[in-house]
Amino acid sequence: DTSSDSEDKIGAVNKNLAFGKRKPELLMDGGEVVEKKKKGRPRKDKMATPISQPFLQVTTPPERDSSRVAAPPAPVAVLKLPTPSTQKAFSLQVSMEPAVFLEVENEVSMVAGSKLSQLRCSKDGRNWNTLLPSSVVTAAGSSDVLAVACEDRMLSVFSCCGRRLLPAIQLTTPISALHCSAHFVMALTAGAGLSVWDVHKQKALVKNESLLTVLSGADTTVSQSMLTQQGVPVIGLSNGKTFCFSSSLETWTLIADRGDSLVQCADFRGCLPSHDAPVSSGPLAAIQGRNINAGRLASRLSSTPHHLQQSMTLAFLENQLASALTLQSSQEYRYWLLTYARFLVNEGSEYRLRELCKELLGPVHKSAATSWEATTLGLHKRELLREVLPVVGENLRFQRLFTEYQDQLELLRGK
């Protein structure tokens, strides 16, 4: 009885709760259970209920591991080259023929808080001057152009008559060395950046190229710098190596090495052109200096096997040809080409000699697909071949080769 009475009481309580809180009436709509909407104003709690949105699966990014912190970028090596000190006044002769003199006087006057500097130039007795808003640190010039670099890192370029040829150029770091040759201007900055401009074409040939590639080792410094008449920049280092930057290859190329054993041991004394004086005024000769002495140590290497001596001389002569080509020195290229050809003839190197003649001759029949250039450094290749063939004909072993290319040259003469 007790248990049945308890069950009756619990059932009554549940019944009262059911009547006190009526469940919302549900209707079936398209298979889905929806709540039946009643007339009248909705209850407050219903208004506050947000509208349900379709469920989107969002992938949260993984938490960062605090123990794995990204390493900071490696510091960029800052190269420092020496800079010239600012002087109150200085003068220099920038050209011999015609005679061009340049004078600089810094802080000649003060205008609106700015110290003005004066640049004066004399060419064939005619003078001109101009003012600059900053002290001039260094100057350079040629018979065609004048260039001055100032403390505010601005580079100005003028003609020898005083006309400004380029807008003022902002250098990245202070100037270290400044050179002019023909109508080219070269600037080497303290941050080891090199730039070369062709003033006539208003074009940059070298764009702030870093010397980091060639300055190997903490003790290596720039010992000299120069600019050739063809606008090729040359950098000499304290370790005895000399590099030039090739605009066509877009890289630094080694053109001289004081410690190169090939230079000391190459023996080409019997191969020098008899009718040509040694080329001593070209840039390659100026760079290599006394290191080139036609086998200075060759006489001491009498115990060296002939094939080794031959290989060293061959490698040296090919390096000379490549260096003259990179420096765009046409006369030195011709000189070393004839020396190289005579060496090949003397040593009986028919394979290399034939390849050389083939390159100089070019295609016999014209073709739109050919990439052969008729000239190199302004020299006509077939004219160079005409100079090489008499050397080839001196060796009876190469009479067939001589006749073959001589006949082809004659056939091409009328074309």
State the pLDDT at residue 276. 60
Q: What is the mean pLDDT of the chain?
A: 83
Q: Which of 267, 318, 329, 326 is nearest to 292 (CA)?
A: 267
Token pair of 266 as six digits: 């190459």
Q: Are 192 and 252 in contact, with CB atoms under 8 Å apart?
A: no
| DSSP label of 40 | S
Q: Which of 199, 197, 233, 191 is nearest to 215 (CA)?
A: 191
Q: Which of 159, 162, 234, 260 is nearest to 200 (CA)?
A: 159
136-175 b/e (C-beta count within 10 Å ≥ 16 → b): bbbbbbbbbbbbbbbeebbbbbbbbebeebeeebebebbb
pLDDT category at 73 given cuts 50, 70, 90 is: low
* pLDDT tens digits, 342-384: 999 999 999 999 999 999 999 887 776 678 899 999 999 999 9
| Integer Cα distance of 346 and 11 in angstroms | 126
CA atoms within 13 A on the CB side of 382: 17
State the pLDDT at residue 290. 60
Q: Are 121 and 101 in contact, with CB atoms under 8 Å apart?
A: yes
Give the CA angle between residues 229, 231, 237 to the nearest 5°: 95
More confident residue, 318 or 32: 318
Token pair of 375 as six digits: 């000239």
Q: Which of 186, 187, 153, 183 is nearest to 170 (CA)?
A: 153
Residue 398 φ then ψ, to 5°: -105, 25
* pLDDT tens digits, 280-315: 679 999 998 765 655 555 555 556 777 888 899 999
Report the helix count and the strand count for the chain, using DSSP H and E: 9, 20
Residue with tokens 């420092």: 80
| Integer Cα distance of 333 and 327 in angstroms | 9
pLDDT of 56 higher than 50 = no
Domains in the chain and their CATH numbers?
A: 89-241 (2.130.10.10), 261-413 (no CATH)
- Contacts with 127 (C-beta within 8 Å, 6 or more apart), sequence order: 120, 121
Q: What percent of the chain has pLDDT over 70?
A: 75
Q: Is the pTM of this model over 0.85?
A: no
Residue with tokens 């004394």: 269
- Helix or strand run (H / E) with residue 355: helix 350-361
| Integer Cα distance of 268 and 338 in angstroms | 12
